Structure 1
Amino acid sequence: MKTPLTFVGALLLGVSLLAFRSDNPHEAEIKSWHQKRIENLKAEEGWLNLAGLFWLKEGENTIGGNEKNSIVFPAEHSDAFLGKIILKDGKVTFEAAPQAAVQLGEQAVTNAELFPYQGKPTVLKHKTLRWFIIQRGDKFAIRLRDLEGTYVKAFKGIETFPITTDWKVKAKFIPTEGKKLTILDITGRSYEQASPGKFVFTIDGKEYSLESVGSKERPHFVFGDLTNKHDTYGGGRFLDAPAPDAEGYTYIDFNKAYNPP
């Protein structure tokens, strides 16, 4: 009779421990943050459906699924000839090919002004494709999305490190007015971004600091560590933190570090 009772007691204890772990506020916070990140990646304006970045030449740039186009869209999701993107003196317009089913919002379009735009980019649609214009310095490009692209279909989630409060550290904000950091983007272009200051913290008795970009109220970090060699993105990771309090302190939680984008 003792054995069944012992087994039941151990089982109940195990269930209680699991419940305690599930109710851990910090772990729940990180899991919620991670889930939101997944949802953002899978959203229509997320990063998973990016299917191409095509730099424009001055003049006419034809687009469509046929290889004869200047810019070739995924053939399985595009008609052969959709029209042409025209770049002239910093202005970008679109002219549709005859019978091309291209939409702006829910309306069919035969021509449209794509750049400059007010507020959000002007997005054109064709089947599962979405595209708009971006500017980088004096150059312009088509950024193409495919809502049923390879990465969207193959996505199985993101592997994470174990959650631990050891990597949530208290940090002191040290302002550095007027300082700028040189940032290198994925296209190989560099640009300067203002840094409001650095955040100083201690891990295992050793002092570290991270220089932030963005603003004091919304500090953003780009950092690297030894995991960049094999486990995480080689170029480093991104991390955001809450604004420092009146005394200049905040918490940096490395459990929320993520690979770009």
Structure 2
Amino acid sequence: MNGSPGRSAASGMFVRTVLMVLLAAGLTTAANATGDNGGPDGLADLLLEHNPALVETMPVQDTTDADRDYYEFVENWHKNRIERLHDDRGWLRLAGLYWLDDGEQSFGSGPHARVRFPEGSIPDMAGIFEVREDTVFMRVVGNIDIRDERDHRIRDGIISTPEMTRELTYRTLTWFVVRRDDLVGIRLYDDNSPHLRHFDGIERYEVDKDWRVEARFEPKEQGATMHIENVLGQMIEWDVAGTLTFSAEGHEVSIVALGTGDRLFIPFADATSGSETYPGGRFLYIDRPSSGEPAIVDFNVSYNPPCAINPHTTCPLPPPQNRMPFPIRAGEKHYEMYEE
């Protein structure tokens, strides 16, 4: 029967349940308000309008100022991370990485150039790169206006030694020499990079304070190093700061932190690597703790390595010690890279 006490009680119970679900999800807070766009606040207001007694029985979210400050910190960190990707030297503008052989090799955008820049970005044949021992020379052909970082026009000369590297520009292009162990190459940036044009953000997990963990830091002696493989198959020597030991998901793990400064670098993999996150793992930086103090390892600010964003990159892979057997559902998820 319409209007019966049993029907009314059931309706009230249903409405309370819906409201509790909404509140638990944080959907009725002012921070998530969607105004008059038909969002969740509109639903909550409608329920309260027809059930005013619920005002006295609604649960209150236990969100402290510290929680809000932390969530805001993580959100701002990721916002800044995306902005850095768009920088002039951000990974989204990277357009090429070309390893050079000893001797001469031509460069340009044409099919016969040994170092082939993006089509139409520079004349078909722009010049010659020459590697002589540990020095790289560049010679420009024709009347091409290539400039260095001081805006001097370059025709012929040294562009890199082990002690210095010149930055060259032509229209939307910028390039310079990079060295990776015994390899010497040209790194090219393009303001018209398709990776920049097709970028549509990076998905990430919801912020979870449980993945901001305290770890016991055991520093290594000064000068300690280890060899870590990169995506090129090279074994590169890294400075080792120490080990971090913590418990998570029923496991106690000890991982390696790299570096010599106040910020320590952690390349890591976990059970999500290759499915939910990038197969080559993720990166994380932490502050070096003071002596005797725990280190804070915050996986909410872990992020994809450059190799997950752009194919023209070189990245270290997580060492065996940093491959954890449990899933870490915090930080950035797998990014669908634009395929050139």
Q: Given the alignment of the two structures, is residue 71 of structure 1 paired with residue 115 of structure 2, yes or no?
A: yes
3-state SS of paired residue (1:227): coil
TM (norm. structure 1) is: 0.88
Match of 2:215 in 1: 171
Distance, in Å, in 1 between the alignment partners of 2:93 and 2:119 is: 16
Match of 1:195 in 2: 240
Distance, in Å, in 2 between the alignment partners of 1:179 and 1:22 is: 38
Verify the 8 A CA contact 1:197 1:216 in the aligned structure 2. no
Q: Given the alignment of the two structures, is residue 139 of structure 1 paired with residue 139 of structure 2, yes or no?
A: no
Match of 2:266 in 1: 221
Q: Given the alignment of the two structures, is residue 51 of structure 1 paired with residue 95 of structure 2, yes or no?
A: yes
Verify the 8 A CA contact 2:225 2:238 in the aligned structure 1. yes
Larger strand proportion of the pair: 1
Matched residue count: 256
Verify the 8 A CA contact 2:92 2:195 in the aligned structure 1. yes
> Of 63, 80, 88, which residue of structure 1 is paired with 2:124?
80
1:215/1:8 CA distance change after superposition, 3 Å: farther
TM (norm. structure 2) is: 0.68
Structure 1 unpaired stretches of 5+: none
| Greater Rg over alpha carbons, structure | 2
Runs of 4+ in 1 over 4 A off after TM superposition: 3-11, 19-23
1:165/1:235 CA distance change after superposition, 3 Å: same
Match of 2:303 in 1: 258
Match of 2:282 in 1: 237
Q: What RMSD in Å do the two structures reach over aligned CA positions? A: 2.9
Shift of 1:108: 2.2
Q: Which moved more, 1:91-100 or 1:209-218?
A: 209-218
1:5/1:83 CA distance change after superposition, 3 Å: same
3-state SS of paired residue (1:25): helix
Shift of 1:205: 4.7
Verify the 8 A CA contact 2:240 2:257 in the aligned structure 1. yes
Shift of 1:111: 2.1
> Of 235, 247, 256, which residue of structure 2 is paired with 1:211?
256
Structure 2 unpaired stretches of 5+: 1-46, 307-340
1:165/1:9 CA distance change after superposition, 3 Å: farther
Shift of 1:35: 1.1
Match of 2:134 in 1: 90
1:237/1:4 CA distance change after superposition, 3 Å: closer
Shift of 1:127: 1.5
